[in-house]
Chains A and B, each alone.
Chain A
Amino acid sequence: MRFPKPSSLGFRLPSVRAPALPGLRAGSMTRLLGVALRAAFWALALATLAAVLAFIFVAFVPMGPMGLTATTGDEGTRVPVPRAYLLFGLGAFVGYLGGFALILRHLKVIVHTLRIGDPFQPANVSRLKQIGLTLATVTGGAWVGQTLVSRLVRGALEPPSLFDLVTPAFSVLVVFVLAEVFREGARLRRESDLTI
Chain B
Amino acid sequence: MAIRVQLDRILVERRMSLTELADRVGVTLANLSILKTGKARAIRFTTLDALCRELNCQPGDLLAWSPGPQDIGSDEDADGAPSGTS
Is the beta-carbon distance between B78 and A125 smaller than 8 angstroms? yes
Closest chain B residue to A123, Cβ basis: B78
Q: Within the complex, which residue of A186, A189, A194 is in contact with B40, where a contact is CB–CB below 8 Å?
A: A194
- Knowing A187-B83, A191-B41, A191-B42, the reply to whether A196 touches B77 (Cβ < 8 A) is no
Is the beta-carbon distance between B34 and A186 smaller than 8 angstroms? no
- Which residues between 151 and 196 of chain A lie within 8 Å of chain B, taking CB atoms? 183, 186-187, 189-191, 194-196
Is the beta-carbon distance between B44 and A195 smaller than 8 angstroms? yes
Against B, the Cβ 8 Å flags (1 = close, 0 = not) of A118-137 are 00001001000000000000
Is the beta-carbon distance between A195 and B78 smaller than 8 angstroms? no
CA distance A136 to B35 in the complex (A): 45
Closest chain A residue to B80, Cβ basis: A122
- Knowing A125-B78, A183-B78, the reply to whether A194 touches B83 (Cβ < 8 A) is no
Q: Which residues of B contact A194 (CB under 8 A)?
A: 34, 39-42
Chain A interface size, under 10 / 10 to 19 / 20 to 34 / 35 or more = 10 to 19
Q: Within the complex, which residue of B40, B79, B83 is in contact with A196, where a contact is CB–CB below 8 Å?
A: B40
CA distance A183 to B35 in the complex (A): 25
Q: Within the complex, which residue of B32, B35, B78 is in contact with A190, where a contact is CB–CB below 8 Å?
A: B78
Is the beta-carbon distance between B79 and A183 smaller than 8 angstroms? yes
Nearest CB of chain A from residue B19's CB, rounded to whole Å:
16
Is the beta-carbon distance between B34 and A196 smaller than 8 angstroms? yes
Q: Within the complex, which residue of A187, A189, A191, A196 is in contact with B32, where a contact is CB–CB below 8 Å?
A: A196
Binding site for B on A (CB under 8 A): 122, 125, 183, 186-187, 189-191, 194-196
Binding site for A on B (CB under 8 A): 27, 31-32, 34-35, 39-44, 47, 77-79, 83
